[in-house]
Amino acid sequence: MNKFSLLMSAAAISTIVLPTATFADGTVEVLHWWTSGGEAKAVGELKSSFEAQGGTWIDSPIAGGGGDAAMTALRARVVAGNPPTAVQLKGPGIQEWAIEGSLNDVDDVAKAENWDAVLPPVLAAIMKYEGKYVAAPVNIHRVDWIWANPEVLAKVGVTEVPTNWDEFNAVADKLLAAGITPLAHGGQPWQDATVFEVVALGIGGADFYRDALVNLDQAALASDTMVKTFDQLRKLRGYVDQGFSGRDWNLATAMIMNGQAAFQIMGDWAKGEFLAAGKAPGKDFLCAPAPGGAFVLNSDSFTFFKVEGEDQLKGQQVLASLIMSPGFQETFNLAKGSIPARTDVALDKFDSCAVKSHEDLTAAIAANSLVPSMAHEMAVSRTVRGEIMDVVTNFFNSNMSSADGVQALASAVKRVQ
């Protein structure tokens, strides 16, 4: 049996510990933007697992911007002819780099381990270019969550997270009257866009979301439903504190933990922060799907860039196999707050929020209400995403009317299509 066959056999074992003798000299430089508490713990699991095999891990974290700063650094590295071995990358960005001829595939690993049989088809398609895997997903995140502090809500007689935007506004008004900040938010473009897409889903539903923010249909972008979306976004602007501008998302999560605010609209990486701080779901914090009855998908993955040298190529194969191993998927996602990308990983060790996420994911797939996140680079190109974020952030930080905001949105998207 050759070395590659040994790798495939070892990867089939449901554990994150692989034989150390097989690829002891594999090397990876990994570029990522996981630097906050829960995220850092999660990527630390991957680093430790890789090094446990005798491999060499070179960590290249770049904080800030929901990955925007990391993508700028990546572009400079590739242009200079010195790409990292593996990069945290997602959605259409994977295809864009593949089209440029910048990626290696790990399809031999994927075929040997039968990735097609254990990944949701919509996610598997995102990981491939021309039918070959060029990326490996580590998780499935749900974007459309509302996180809440139950003690803060109890101060205004509320025991559950609101299920529609009218209810949310009513509770938020009570909180304001009691001198409590209703919504913890960080004034960064990607965070503004996150709230915007969650509101769009809640106002218009999955079909509207898909038409407007995935298919970029001009009629949907300029519709009355979009005007109502901007109306609700304006309401939310009135529920944040004055110090929101430039605040990192995890600091907004800390406001919930510390009782400084009642709600946060953020993906379930926020749960990783709660768990890292020793908080328990249902007791110290509440999790509930945002209005919409659907599921906004975000998935982190690592993409493999064109590098040279047996050591780095070997490292890519080992890393791909490790990422997709059931044991690592469990360990990583327990730390990250997400759920495994593999559909065959048991959720016995996962909390109630994760179980709810998995149940809703399964239901959304069946109901065709699973939609990719625009804000988190799963739905549209970075150029289009950037235009949408600019409009949304300008609206959120001005007195622009909803009608003018919708007109600006439709025009911006049309300009770059």
pLDDT tens, residue by residue, 316-334:
999 999 999 999 999 889 8
Model pLDDT, residue 40: 86
Q: How many residues does the chain have?
A: 417
| pLDDT for 16 | 37
Residues of the chain with pLDDT under 70: 1-25, 65-66
DSSP class of residue 66 equals G
β pairing state of 261-265 and 145-148: antiparallel
To which H or E segment does residue 87 belong?
strand 86-89
CB 33 within 8 A of CB 330: no
Choose among 23, 21, 22, 43: nearest CA to 32.
43
What integer pLDDT is reported at residue 208 of this predicted model? 98
In the prediction, which pLDDT does 9 show? 37
- Vertex 126: Cα angle to 297 and 298 (nearest 5): 20
| Domain with residues 142-297+366-416, CATH architecture | 3-Layer(aba) Sandwich (3.40)
The fold of 3-140+299-352 is D-Maltodextrin-Binding Protein; domain 2 (3.40.190)
pLDDT computed for residue 25 by the predictor = 60
**Domain-by-domain residue ranges, the chain?**
3-140+299-352, 142-297+366-416
Q: Choose among 247, 304, 256: nearest CA to 277.
A: 256
